[in-house]
Chains A and B, each alone.
Chain A
Amino acid sequence: MTIQRDRRAPGLAVTDPGRSAGQSLLRQIVGVRELGIVLVIAVAATLLAFTTPAFLTSQNLSAVAIGLVTDALIAIAMTKVLISGGFDLSVGSVLALAGMVVADLLHRGLSPLVAIPVTLVVASVVGLVNGLLIAKVKVNPLITTLGMMSITSSLTLVISGGYPVSNLPADFLFLGQGSLWGVPLAVLLVVGLVAVADVLLRRARWLRLIYYVGGNERAALLSGIPVDVVRIAIYVFCSVMAGFAGIIATSRLGSAFPLAGRGAEMRVISACVIGGSSLQGGEGTVLGSLLGVLLMAIINNGLVLLNVSINWQGIVSGAILIAAVTFDMLNRRNRS
């Protein structure tokens, strides 16, 4: 009894340097939030592995991975938009527009090496309009991108006449359908991009500015940060990434569909928020957002495998989103 009591150093209750030092390395690599999601994903995957034998097959897993490629690409950019305190609802319709534009250009006989960059430029124009309106005219991001969402999806219908476009050249289809070392090329691409984007967001000077802008815009301005330029660049980047996702989607399916990308904006924003991005701005990581995308994809896959009607998906993903945000709020309140 006495020995036990003696071992407790007097300062221990206040600060616990031993424990925090041990945890800090892990925390530096993946934040606390990310660890939490990894845990939830592990639990969900284990449950699914036991309940449905079809889950842990390489076929299914690779289907899940391919399925989340477009969301993951958009999430990389959406994370930055959210950190800056902004919002982009136009990503789903930009995805559809870009998918249609690239198919159209290919049909006109352009090589993919020309068609793809041109498509990305088209997508960037949408982002530029978003960015200029939001940064310079100070229109609310929600309204601006909602309007752009309507304009771009309508534009896609005008271009396509409402019909899918197929019969695309084989060298273009390789991008979305080919594989390297037995892994789908698109999945490799996403893994690579996420890794680079995550490291850059933590370390690149220009990307740090996004956190300042989202944290306190006026202070950022008075610290010499070109706030408008940062904001415009973010929206351009977001549209370009959504456009790239559209190109990949068209290549993977072999056709461009005018209604592609429906609901992508809500799915991606939910995933980012689950992954720790704050709608108030100033917080978020690419890794967290990717884990959010992964979690949503696994749960949707599980619902399919368990023969739950597709109509239930919205209820489940909505509940997860609300649970994640509620958990976050409670956590924050306890800390302060």
Chain B
Amino acid sequence: MKELTELKLKVLDLLNEDARRSPLLLATLIGVEEEAVKEAIAELEADHVIVKYAAVVNWSKIEEETVTALIEVQITPERGRGFEGIAERIYLYPQVKSVYLMSGAYDLLVEVEGRNLREVANFVSEKLSPIDSVLSTKTNFILKKYKQDGIIFEDREEDNRLMVSP
């Protein structure tokens, strides 16, 4: 893993809070030259430390409902490649949103999104389970998201400070 400079860490923290902050704003907040921030970001992007700038969306706010399932998958690792090959076969499907290798009772945690229950169920029975080395799957549907990536969706804490105080 790469040793990051203090500047890069600060840039990452601030972009993680709000990815739309400009290099100039970041430079002011951190107290360095804009050029240094631009350079840091360019390197972070080149090294794929910053993979992408995306919006965190609360999809449940809009009509178009989707369903998401977290699927626990047990597999037998392949000789010589471990879990990598199977993980790749799974994550290449566009409906798969994330894949994690886990310690504990199962091996992969696969997040799958579909338009409805049936679509996800079909994915599991037609694509996931038939893979040779997949021993078992257990599908858990997400009913409601309260917090994702450190962001609370329905944040009830409001600024109730007085407008002016000593």
Indicate whether A and B interact: no
